[in-house]
């Protein structure tokens, strides 16, 4: 996913910290006391976006990869995003700049999502 977006959009390849990447991609499935910490598809997608962007595991392309992970996760689960890329960019920048938390990210993803039925 990371390599594909770099090929399309450019940027420097390379993994900065494997542990940070593994931590980021594990977050959506994290549980505590037998309960998922991120309950629901939008919360899980938000966790991918938030933790990949915040952990910054790659040399370049963390924001793009984080958003792509969230969108692909939703798509695989039958929820297509039908929204201008400028709005997705703004959401991603809000994450990168620490202006939004995971619950707000989930709410925004749900707002802009279009279910494919």
Domain residue spans in the chain? 2-115
User: From residue 53, how far is each of 5, 21, 48, 76, 114 by CA, in Å?
Assistant: 14, 10, 8, 21, 24
Q: How confident is the model at residue 22 (pLDDT cuts 50, 70, 90)?
A: very high
Percent of the chain with pLDDT over 70: 90
Q: How confident is the model at residue 116 (pLDDT cuts 50, 70, 90)?
A: very low
Mean pLDDT of 98-109: 96
Q: How confident is the model at residue 6 (pLDDT cuts 50, 70, 90)?
A: low
Q: Which residue has the higher pLDDT, 40 or 11?
A: 40
Mean pLDDT of 91-108: 97
Helix, coil or strand: residue 47: helix
**Which pLDDT tens digit goes with each residue over 52-87?**
999 999 888 899 999 999 999 999 999 988 766 788
For the cut 80, the answer to whether the pLDDT of residue 5 exceeds it is: no
The Cα angle at residue 87 between residues 84 and 91, in degrees rounded to 5: 145
What pLDDT shows up at residue 117? 41
What is the domain class of 2-115 according to CATH?
Answer: mainly alpha
Q: Is the Cβ–Cβ distance between 16 and 56 less than 8 Å?
A: yes
For the cut 80, the answer to whether the pLDDT of residue 100 exceeds it is: yes
- How much is the pTM? 0.87
């Amino acid at each position: 996913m990371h390599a594909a977006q770099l090929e399309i959009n450019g940027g420097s390849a390379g993994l900065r910290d494997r542990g940070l990447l593994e931590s980021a991609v594990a977050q959506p499935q994290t549980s505590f006391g037998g309960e998922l910490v991120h309950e629901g598809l939008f919360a899980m997608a938000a966790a991918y976006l938030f933790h990949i962007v915040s952990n910054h595991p790659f040399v370049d392309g963390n924001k793009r990869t984080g958003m792509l992970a969230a969108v692909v996760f939703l798509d695989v689960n039958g929820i297509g995003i039908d929204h201008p890329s400028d709005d997705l960019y703004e959401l991603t920048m809000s994450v990168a700049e620490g202006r939004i938390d995971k619950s707000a990210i989930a709410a925004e993803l749900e707002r802009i999502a279009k279910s494919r039925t």
